[in-house]
């Protein structure tokens, strides 16, 4: 008999199991090219979401949110590189009362200006084919840039389409238009990219918030670490050891080691994200495009297409890996079109996850057994409702999103444990997500019963493999990142010669 869909169990068992499934061994690149339709629109493909109390010195009263887009960027990907979609709407949603719906939404829109630098060649002025025109770039909107990319940000209070809207502005001067840095073309075009990008970190005024926040939008080194190719090749990695093997956790290649990504980063005073009584907030990010598109409307149009109609959501991301390895292929696009409040439609994928069973099939000869406690309430607690006493809102409605208890003390970078909550660090995943949290290893262990072993959501007997330290062999921890906003590392340069 199919379980009833109550307000807590619905999405709970649903995405929890989904997250469960997703967190079995084949869990990989968090959300890179995870659904058929989004592969054709890489500029609006959300890859990872991070949500954590800021651990920069003297910033513990702030919460950092990072939404990454446009996956698998090769640093040398010129001449156009990786500008954001000017016809898209990028959003970060905040739920602060546990009801599965947004109460705050930060909306980002982008604009590109072609400065059309021309050279006189044989007596004729001819447009150059590059985004730089020969001069070194050291500051925002420098003379050497042939392209200027800017963006605006709107805070919506209430429903994302019908709520109250107000512009976020630069605390220095009040402008509502912000500069986005060019991508890291190379050391000749941009001699000191770190210093150049740092000039695009801005202090912002947030409507209704008494304290300023910070913001950065631009290219970063992709922070996600995963043994991608071998994992998807029927988990073509060494069988998990029944005894702890420290070498196994660093045995594999990180397939994203040479990739960049585009980051949308906010650091917001925590009091301006919570509702004043509930300390737990949830977050997810989406991207939408217009319903209609007319290609090449006129030969000399400033854009290759005209857009029209209502916004249509094409990308969605909360907790890592859900759509990639939990949702069935036929419903991956539908998941990207949906909101957390509608997650009941995916219940079958999460109450009876297939990936743990696949792990058992592939590694059964090594003593691996999948948990048999159905529905997987341990995963519901971890990924859909939050873990009671850790990050579960008082009046939670089961729905898939990344949840953070903002009252949990910050863990200093040197003391952070990459396995988060199951490693004894309650400031880490699944209580939010920090850049140094190894979500693949955490997910693998949780989906195979680690929470059952800890008597969370089930009994220890339901987790025959709960002691096994599953790993994809691609290591990450807090030392991979900076200890201050925007935290993520400088992107890889397209050329290192100069």
pLDDT, tens digit only, all 498 positions of the chain: 333 333 333 333 333 333 333 333 333 445 565 555 666 788 999 999 999 999 999 999 999 999 999 998 999 988 889 999 999 999 999 999 999 999 999 999 999 999 999 999 999 999 999 999 878 999 999 999 999 999 999 999 999 999 999 999 999 999 999 999 999 999 999 999 999 999 999 999 999 999 999 999 999 999 999 887 776 666 667 777 666 677 777 877 788 899 999 999 999 999 999 999 999 999 999 999 999 878 766 655 556 778 889 999 999 999 887 777 677 788 888 878 889 988 878 777 777 777 788 888 888 888 889 888 888 888 788 778 889 999 999 999 989 999 999 999 999 999 999 999 999 999 999 999 999 999 989 988 888 889 888 888 787 878 888 888 888 888 999 999 999 999 999 999 998 765
Q: How deeply is 345 buried, as exposed, middle or buried, from its count of CB atoms within 10 A (0-12, 13-18, 19+)?
A: middle
Distance CA 152, CA 174 (A): 12
The CB-side HSE value for 486 (13 A sphere, CA atoms) comes to 31
pLDDT score, position 247: 76
Note whether 95 and 101 are within 8 A (CB). yes
Instruction: Tell me the C-alpha to C-alpha distance, in Å, between residue 67 and each of 161, 164, 285.
Output: 20, 23, 7
Please count the helices (runs of H) and the strands (runs of E) in the chain.
Answer: 11, 16
Note whether 80 and 131 are within 8 A (CB). yes
Q: Which residues of 240-267 are buried (b: 16+ CB within 10 A; e: fewer)?
A: beeeeeeebbebbebbbeebbbbbbbbb
Note the Cα 406 to chain centre separation in Å: 19
**End-to-end Cα separation, the chain, in angstroms:** 67
pLDDT score, position 31: 56
The bridge status of strand 164-167 relative to strand 124-127 is unpaired
What does DSSP assign to residue 132?
Answer: B
The bridge status of strand 124-127 relative to strand 169-170 is unpaired
Note whether 189 and 145 are within 8 A (CB). no
Distance CA 230, CA 240 (A): 14
Q: Is the pTM of this model over 0.85?
A: yes
pLDDT score, position 467: 87
Element (H, E) at 305: strand 305-317
Within 10 A of 326 (CB to CB), how many other CB atoms are there? 30
pLDDT score, position 323: 74
Element (H, E) at 381: helix 377-383
With a CB cutoff of 8 Å and minimum separation 6, the contacts of 191 are 136, 138, 498
pLDDT score, position 226: 85
Note whether 187 and 498 are within 8 A (CB). yes
Note whether 338 and 351 are within 8 A (CB). no
Distance CA 150, CA 84 (A): 10
Listed residue (29, 50, 19) closest to 437, CA to CA: 50
């Amino acid at each position: 008999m199919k379980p009833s869909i109550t307000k807590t169990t619905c999405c709970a068992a649903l995405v929890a199991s989904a997250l469960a499934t997703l967190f079995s061994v084949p869990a990989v690149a968090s959300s890179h090219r995870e659904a058929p339709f989004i592969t054709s629109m890489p500029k609006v493909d959300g890859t990872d979401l991070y949500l954590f109390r800021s651990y920069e010195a003297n910033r513990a009263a702030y919460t950092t949110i990072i939404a990454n887009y446009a996956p698998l960027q090769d640093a040398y990907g010129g001449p156009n590189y990786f500008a954001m979609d000017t016809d898209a709407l990028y959003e970060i949603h905040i739920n602060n009362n546990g009801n599965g719906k947004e109460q705050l939404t930060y909306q980002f829109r982008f604009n590109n200006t072609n400065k059309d630098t021309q050279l006189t060649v044989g007596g004729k002025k001819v447009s150059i084919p590059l985004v730089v025109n020969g001069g070194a770039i050291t500051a925002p909107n420098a003379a050497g840039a042939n392209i200027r990319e800017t963006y605006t940000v709107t805070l919506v209070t209430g429903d994302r389409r019908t709520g109250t809207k107000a512009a976020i502005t630069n605390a220095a001067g009040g402008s509502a238009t912000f500069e986005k840095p060019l991508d890291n073309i190379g050391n000749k075009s941009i001699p000191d990219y770190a210093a150049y990008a740092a000039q695009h970190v801005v202090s912002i005024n947030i409507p209704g918030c008494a304290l300023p926040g910070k913001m950065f939008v631009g290219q970063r080194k992709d922070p996600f670490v995963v043994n991608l190719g071998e994992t998807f090749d029927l988990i073509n990695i060494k069988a998990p050891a029944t005894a702890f093997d420290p070498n196994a956790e660093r045995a594999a290649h990180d397939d994203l080691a040479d990739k960049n990504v585009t980051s949308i980063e906010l650091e917001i005073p925590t009091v301006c994200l919570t509702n004043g009584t509930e300390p737990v907030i949830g977050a997810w990010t989406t991207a939408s495009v217009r319903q209609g598109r007319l290609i090449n409307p006129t030969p000399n149009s400033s854009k290759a297409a005209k857009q029209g109609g209502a916004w249509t959501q094409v990308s969605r991301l909360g907790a890592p890996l859900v759509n990639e390895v939990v949702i069935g292929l036929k419903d991956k696009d539908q998941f990207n079109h949906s909101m957390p409040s509608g997650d009941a439609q995916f219940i079958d994928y999460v109450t009876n996850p297939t990936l743990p069973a696949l792990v058992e099939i592939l590694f059964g000869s090594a003593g691996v057994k999948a948990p048999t406690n159905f529905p997987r309430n341990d995963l519901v607690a971890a990924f859909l409702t939050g873990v009671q006493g850790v990050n579960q809102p008082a009046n939670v409605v089961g729905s898939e999103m990344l949840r953070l208890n903002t009252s949990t003390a910050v863990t200093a970078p040197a003391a952070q444990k990459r396995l988060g909550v199951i490693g004894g660090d309650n400031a880490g995943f699944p209580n939010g997500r920090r850049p140094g949290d190894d979500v693949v290893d955490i997910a693998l262990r949780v989906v195979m019963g680690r929470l059952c072993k800890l008597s969370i959501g089930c009994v220890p007997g339901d987790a025959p493999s709960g002691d096994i330290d599953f790993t994809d062999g691609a290591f990450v921890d807090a030392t991979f990142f900076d200890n201050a906003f925007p935290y993520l590392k400088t992107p890889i340069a397209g050329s290192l010669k100069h």
